Amino acid sequence: MTNKLIAISVLLLAQFVLHWSIRAEKVPDVSSTLLRMHRLYAQQPPHDTTLYDILQVSPNATAAQITKSYRKLSRIYHPDKQRRKKKNDDEEDRAENEQQLERIREAYEVLKMDSSRLPYHRFGLVDTVHAVYLLTGRFEDAVGRDPHLIELLQMMGYSLDHSQPTPPHIEDSQTNVLGNQVRYKQEHNQRVKFIANNIVGTIRPLVEGSVDEAFLADLIVTQCDRVKKLPMGAQIIRCIGRAYRYAGRKVLRRYHANPKSFGIDRQHTKASVITNSALVSISDSLRDRWRHAEHVVQAAFAAGKMIMSKSGTVKRANSGEKFEAPIAEDWDNESGEIPDSSFTDRDAADGLAGFLPPNEVDMRREERAKAQQAIIESLQIDALWKITKIDLDRTVREACNMVLEGSMFFGHQEGWVGSSGLVISSNVSRIRAAAALVMIGEIMVQRSKEGTAWIE
């Protein structure tokens, strides 16, 4: 029922966004399609620079610069060129040059077209199908294509031991609704327990006092720097980090407001240093509702933009009219939208239609259509992520609550039973676990952002 309400809310808000976006629509300034696409790359930092580095170009390089660098590097590493340069090169050098040439070709295949470059620039996706695999937990397909995605999927709660969810058929949804709901609940509970076990394994040394905060922080920083370069990695660890931080602060706020209710005073833990007394006045229930509403609105805006973009394209294709529909990209960098990133039929090609040869006019229009399609595909990925983020946030917070309530680490004795057999009181262990989640969550959020580092 909760998922149905979320889906209905997203659709209603998406329709609202679509309605008012069309009413408030303004005709953007006429400019070149290539310049507009270049602006998208120039104004936003890339998710990953590996392919740009292989081609020895900057992330805001133009299509012409990418092609020029590719041709130059292809000539340098071409086998014939290498043989003329080194007559006595050994087999190892030849193999290394061939591998480098293959990497150059693969990088160029992704960066030469906006349809593949834009998803890579924004999400790190070399193959957009990876987005579906990641966000739906289709482990077998994802692992078959890229084994490095295992770690990212496990962070989202998908275990190799879990049975793979199969998409329901139309007839199933009509005849076996209850069965589908039961199956979803079982899969959801498996994810929650899997994430909770991972959390306990991560924070246990800190709660027991066998390692200090700096040691654990270094491990988390290393993990985040590795994972954030994976497809959708930065977005996923940022979402998980916020859920960790939120759940931990929720417990610490209660402790800060009334430490005696935990049966301890502040001298037993460093948790009071992390809490903020200004946040205590806002109820946790209000925070929960605001957080959920924020995610639903973000999903609705992303879905509304996608619907608006696709409807504009279909209308132009069917009627042949000069229909102007802005396609503004909503980059998930917490800063908002890219200004003036629209494409219309009244582009430079139309303004020069009477002065250019017919072939060149058609070529420019085709170029513009490809750019529009690339942005629409990116909007689809963005909408899928914004909707998936609602479920991921809820699942991770449930796992955090399970840990902080003590059901995941308390033994028959009262408290946290450490690996050495020592027992830490339940209240002290709960505060330490909450403080650890806040620290880890803060690191994950900060490291997910390009060009930033966690500051103690």
Report the pLDDT averaged over residues 331-357: 45
Report the pLDDT averaged over residues 313-328: 44
Tokens of 96: 């290394």
Q: What is the pLDDT of residue 333?
A: 46
Domain spans in the chain, listed from the N-terminal domain onward: 49-123
Q: Which segments within 261-402 are labelled E, that is strand?
A: 330-331, 336-337
The Cα angle at residue 41 between residues 39 and 42, in degrees rounded to 5: 60
Sign of the torsion angle spanned by Cα atoms 121, 127, 132, 136: negative
Report the pLDDT averaged over residues 70-87: 76
188 — pLDDT class (breaks 50, 70, 90): confident
| Whole-number Å distance between alpha carbons of 404 and 196 | 10
Q: Is the pLDDT of residue 125 over 90?
A: no
- What distances in angstroms separate CA 217 from CA 178, 211, 227, one per listed residue? 44, 10, 15
Least confident interval from 210-224, 242-256, 300-314, 330-344: 330-344
| Whole-number Å distance between alpha carbons of 117 and 126 | 8
Tell me which residue of 217, 272, 276 sits closest to 435, measured CA to CA: 272
Scanning the structure block, which residue is given the tokens 């805006």?
301
List all residues 6 or more positions away from 333 whose beta carbon is below 8 Å from its beta carbon.
44, 45, 449
Q: Is the pLDDT of residue 43 over 60?
A: yes
- Residue 341: how many other CB atoms lie within 10 Å: 19
Q: Is the pLDDT of residue 102 over 80?
A: yes
Does residue 248 or residue 169 have the better pLDDT? 248
Scanning the structure block, which residue is given the tokens 């450490």?
418
Query: Domain 49-123 falls in which CATH fold?
Result: Helix Hairpins (1.10.287)
- What distances in angstroms separate CA 328 from CA 121, 150, 368, 390, one per listed residue? 16, 33, 15, 23
Q: Which helix (H) or strand (E) holds 423?
A: strand 423-424
List all residues 6 or more positions away from 34 whose beta carbon is below 8 Å from its beta carbon.
62, 63, 367
Q: Is the pLDDT of residue 139 over 60?
A: no
Sign of the torsion angle spanned by Cα atoms 423, 426, 432, 436: positive
One-letter-per-residue 3-state SS of 13-55: HHHHHHHHHHHCCCCCCCCCHHHHHHHHHHHCCCCCCHHHHHC
Q: What is the pLDDT of residue 317?
A: 47
Report the pLDDT averaged over residues 360-364: 67
| Whole-number Å distance between alpha carbons of 47 and 317 | 33
Residue type, 352: L
Does residue 315 or residue 241 have the better pLDDT? 241
Report the pLDDT averaged over residues 138-167: 62
| Whole-number Å distance between alpha carbons of 145 and 127 | 10
Q: What is the pLDDT of residue 342?
A: 46
22 — pLDDT class (breaks 50, 70, 90): very low
Residue-averaged pLDDT of the chain:
70
| Whole-number Å distance between alpha carbons of 252 and 244 | 12
Q: Give the percent of the chain with pLDDT over 70.
A: 53
Sign of the torsion angle spanned by Cα atoms 169, 170, 176, 177: positive
- Rounded to the nearest 10 degrees, the angle between the axes of helix 233-257 and helix 213-227 is 150
